[in-house]
Amino acid sequence: MTWEPVIGLEIHVQLKTRTKMFCRCPVGFGAGENTQTCPVCLGFPGALPVPNRTAIEWTLKLGLALGCEIAPRAVFARKNYFYPDLPKGYQISQYDLPSCIDGKVIVPLKDRDHAVGIVRAHLEEDAAKTVHVGGRTGRIGGADYSLVDYNRGGTPLVEIVTAPDIHSADEAKTFLQLLRQTIVELGISDAEMEKGTLRVDANVSVRPAGSDELRTRCEIKNMNSFTFIARGIEAEVARQIEVWESGGEVEQHTYDYDAATGALTPRRAKEEADDYRYFPEPDLVPLEPPAELVERLRAGLPELPAARIAALAAELDHERAVVLVTGGLDGLWREAVAAGAEPLAAANVVANAVVGAGVDPGAVPAAELAKLVAARERIPRSAFDEAISKLAEPGFSAEPYLAQEAVSDAAALEPVVAAVLAANAAQVEAYRNGKEGLLGFFVGQVMKETKGQADPRVVNELVRTKLAG
């Protein structure tokens, strides 16, 4: 029988406000240990929380971008549990009355639009950082002792919970790329998984394709890149199918994904798990965002990536649309095309060359880029690459590069081609036995020999005829 994965995501986004959620300690990476703390975020006796207005507004902004309803009344609650990185013995988090509920994100897929429900987006405070020392250093298991740095403690986090509407690792990846780009464009977070400002947990289960039952799900944590998330999900899906098909029962559990080995290692069940004794935080009062605030935020929303992908897919194709938009490159592409560049070529140059050269798309003069796109096959590859790499430099002009011509004189190139083929007899043999994919290899060698000066179109032709002959 065929199985359908059922996936829900839990995403934590660290907001880039200037100060923490409930105190006015500065937030920022790389400050000295415990130098960004105060009585509030250290949980000293008598200290009291005061919410960060900007964090609240940004949460509403994100909620609106995710198509959520903004709750007329949101309430902070206390989630009670003990851990050294939790200075008060409870985390302040929205619980039964979150700020944003019932949203929907349309994920444009290759063949269709796919709707992913947003159950809630709520505001909470981040935990501090605990380092485990000794034993297997860094790992909790068998550490000699732990050290706590409260700088990160109390940083504002938005937790987004999706409905189990995702049915493949790829859908999950595309959804997350879209969400990340949306967050970045709203300017509320860097949303970088490597830095931990974007964290994703996946709840995974499988069911017989076609059925709508919900079987036992497992949670996967610790996946610190979109690729690993996709792999982690695939691994867990495979594991569960294996279990069901071998007549077993999937048991609810939490796994850590080990990027290095690709292995899923079960977490030891937390003691007295999940009796957090939530109750309304009596040190805070409810949030009732004024209608005019919500409307101002709604009106201020930019055109969102999902909509732009849909539009772009019609002009180009789905893959390129996704790459350009989730890469934040579609703006540059439009300008380049407006400046006369051929759309498909422009898309390839922007998505490959510009990104490859690590150039800031925002700083690129579109008109100059358009000229390079048009000339990319006429001028030497080396000149083209150099030009692209300098695109973002102040006052960049394409002219000097456009003046250069690739060597397209067959007579001049033939000896080089001959030499290359002679030097790679084995590959030539292979090619003649049908390994036509090697063509690119030979062309590459020739380009190398000519230091990128040769016209690839001519070289291509020469190589093909020589090999045929």
Partner 1 sequence: MAISREQVLHVAKLARLDLREEEVARLTDELGAILDAVSRVAELDLSDVPPTSHPLDLVNAWAEDEPHTPLAVDDALANAPAREDDLFRVPPTV
Partner 2 sequence: MIDTLRLTAEEAMGLLERREVSAAELHTAYLDAIEARGAELHAYLRVVDECDGTSVPIALKDVISTKGVETTAGSRILGGYVPVFDSTVAARCKAAGLPLIGKTNTDEFAMGSSTENSAFGPSRNPWDPSRVPGGSGGGTAAAVSGGLAPWGLGSDTGGSIKQPSALCGNVGLRPTYGTVSRYGIVAFASSLDQVGPVAKTVRDVALLYSIVAGRDPADSTTVELPEPVEVPAAEDLRGVRIGIPSQVAGLGAIEPGVRSAFERALELAQELGAEVGECDLPLSFDYGMACYYLIAPAEASSNLARYDGVRYGPRAEGATYVETVECTRDEGFGDEPKRRIMLGTYALSAGYYDAYYGQAQKVRTLLVREHRDALAAYDMLATPTSPTVAFPVGDKAADPLAMYACDLLTIPSCLAGLPGLNVPCGLSEGLPVGLQLIGAQFGENALFRAGHALERALGFDPVPERLRT
Contact 104, 65 (CB under 8 A): no
Rule CB under 5 A: say whether 201 interacts with Mg ion: no
159 binds, among Zn ion, Mg ion, partner 1, none (CB under 5 to 8 A by kind): Mg ion
Residue 36 binds which entry of Zn ion, partner 1, Mg ion, none, with Cβ cut-offs from 5 to 8 Å by kind? partner 1
Contact between 283 and partner 2 by CB under 8 A: the answer reads: yes
Residue spans of beta strands (DSSP E) within 83-214: 90-94, 100-108, 113-125, 129-133, 145-149, 156-162, 198-208
Whether residue 136 contacts residue 142, with contact meaning beta carbons closer than 8 Å, is answered with yes
User: Given the complex with partner 1, which of 19 and 348 has the nearer CB atom?
Assistant: 19
Q: Which does 43 bind (CB under 5 to 8 A by kind): partner 1, partner 2, Zn ion, none?
A: partner 2
| Nearer residue to partner 2 within complex by CB, 135 or 208 | 135
Query: Interface with partner 2 by CB under 8 A: which range of 42-50, 226-234, 358-366, 448-456?
Result: 42-50
Which residue in 96, 213, 275, 303 binds partner 2 (CB under 8 A)? Answer: 275
Count of positions (residues) in the chain: 469
User: Environment class of residue 172 by beta-carbon count within 10 Å: exposed (0-12), middle (13-18) or buried (19+)?
Assistant: buried
Position of minimal CB gap to Mg ion: 159
Q: Is 285 in the site for partner 2 (CB under 8 A)?
A: yes
Is 39 near partner 2 (CB under 8 A)? yes
- Residue position matching structure tokens 């059922």: 6
Question: Is residue 25 within the footprint of Zn ion (CB under 5 A)?
Answer: yes
Return the H-helix or E-strand segment holding 161.
strand 156-162
Q: Contact 262/229 with Cβ under 8 angstroms? A: no
Instruction: Judge whether 122 and 76 are in contact, CB under 8 Å.
Output: no
SS3 119: strand
Applying CB under 8 A, the residues found at the interface with partner 1 are 17-19, 23-26, 32-39, 42, 50-56, 73, 82-84, 130-132, 135, 140-150, 268, 271-272, 275, 277, 279-280, 282, 284-290
Amino acid found at 344: L
Amino acid at 51: P
User: H-helix or E-strand containing 182?
Assistant: helix 169-186
Q: Using the rule CB under 8 A, is 29 a contact of partner 2? A: no
Burial code of 399-421, b = ≥16 C-beta within 10 A, e = fewer? eebbebebeeeeeebeebbeebb
Q: Which of residues 84-113 bind partner 2 (CB under 8 A)?
A: 84, 87-90
- Cα(309)–Cα(270) distance, integer angstroms: 42
Contact pattern for Mg ion over residues 135 through 174, marking x by CB under 5 A: ------------------------x---------------
Residues near Zn ion (CB under 5 A) = 23, 25, 38, 40-41
Residues near partner 2 (CB under 8 A) = 39, 42-51, 78, 80, 82-84, 87-90, 146, 148, 271, 274-275, 277-279, 282-285
